[in-house]
Structure 1
Amino acid sequence: MTDPSQPTAENMPASVWNNPWHNLAFGFGSGTLPKAPGTWGSLVALAFVPLWQAMPGWGHGLVALASMLFGIWLCGKVAQDLGVHDHEGIVWDEFAGIWITFWLVPAGWHWLLLGFVVFRVLDIFKPWPISWVDRQVHGGLGIMLDDILAGVVACGLMHLAVLLVG
């Protein structure tokens, strides 16, 4: 039996292409890719980071905060629409996590690469307390919160790397 939370050609909702909320939640379609949708979603989100980094720090912070709050509603709505707790194709949570990761981090391709890897490692392996949140918190908040925490930890690690490497 196929796990409905795993994206496959058979269970990918057609609504991703004709419902704007579903399209956003599925990362403009990046979540429809059958292998590693979270990684693909993170890559699409990474493309926006230079825009956020060109803003003042408070502006980037506002974008990250808005993406978190909007994401709680969006991911909860789309998961409910699909009847699945956390469909693997929903990648808006990765968007928010990546955008948090790079808050006040200097621009540069090497920082983008490092931050992407750090965030993905945290999101995939989910060290405590991220793993606890992933198991215990449900709904839109649950879908978002583990990636928010991964983004906060990744941001802290990025700032440490900037201090150490400069």
Structure 2
Amino acid sequence: MEDHKIVQRNLALQREWYGEPLGDRVRRLVVAFDVSQANLADVLGISAPMLSQVMSGRRAKIGNPAVLARLIMLERKVLTPDVASGKREALQRALDDVRASKPSVTRDNLPVDIGRTDRVAVAALRRVADPGDLTAAADMLNGKFPDIAELLRRAGRPH
């Protein structure tokens, strides 16, 4: 497979696994924390060349779950008032906290951002059920569970 096709396949896999290409997520962190890509790699616990390969789509995934957990930790810290204010001390403290963290990551405790995982849920539902069944299930659940019904309805729509 030629390089361009490999990159496109890897970016598609990243969208499926992580909700969007990792390059987009990492670039937002570089801007939010006003750090270099190499500095961010150090904070995450990954080599700068490996981070570059993941960002460009030459590699599809982050193999170490602790690195992914640190990435998610930083994304969450961006939302805290001190970090959102852009105060240099707060930014550095957040980076230092994440760098020093030793997340114990298992399938049951990996932090997940619900806003991104709903796309994964929609894709999974489409793989296991017919669109008509998903829509019918949404109609049945709508009264008591409107959020679940909306997820089913989205999965039942043509994509």
TM-score (norm. length: structure 2)? 0.29
User: Greater CA radius of gyration, 1 or 2?
Assistant: 2
Greater RCO structure (CA 8 Å; 6+ sep): 1
TM-score (norm. length: structure 1)? 0.28
